[in-house]
Structure 1
Amino acid sequence: MNFNGLTLAYIGDASYELLVREYLLRKGLTKVDNLHKEAIKYTSAEGQEKAFNFIESSLSEEEISIFKRGRNSKSERKARNASLATYKRATGFESLMGYLHLSDNIERINELFIMIIDGFENA
């Protein structure tokens, strides 16, 4: 797969967002305002950086390489409501999720997502 880091991040952001939304619905949240407030904890740049921190030690060399491809990508977009370092790490995380999604590696995505949820719930 020869997509650049930002392209992987584009699909990874959507893939991760859908996982989070499904998780929150299955958790029993039904009011849209509450869903949105909860989702932001996971999907903001800060939330994605935290998610990456929860899984980083479990990643393979290839997964770290994909993360770095996204993190080091040159973007025209500016970080909003986050430091540049946090924004870049979030982009790297999205790239990893996009790579796994496009590789149809659903089992690995689910493994990592369980680690992320455990991390957030035990933080």
Structure 2
Amino acid sequence: MTHMTITVERTPRTLELPDGAIEVIELGVLLPFARKPVDLNEVGGYGQQKVFIIETREMSPAEFDGFAATLLKSRDWLKGKGGGAYGGYLCIEISAPGRPYLYINPEGSDYARYVARLG
């Protein structure tokens, strides 16, 4: 099996929002987001959006698999986060060894309302 490494530029930015300025990391690629996907099989979506990472959550492979299989499940750590700004989505980045990166924009909800994947 051949493995490939993809490097994506990550640029620190300060975004001025109505509630004040926030520090984010902007991904150097645009990603397609799926709206209300049940699981990773439905992630891919349409269009291309900027991704602004507002926080990163690291998971074990087992935690990631459980999360990815139940994207519509309510989770306290997503509640009130996300949204849109500057032509992109304010996202929580999810990472786990051996798994794709996920970018979650709960749009203020407590579940993964908009999801993109990288890898």
The TM-score bracket by the shorter chain reads under 0.3
TM-score by length of 2: 0.24
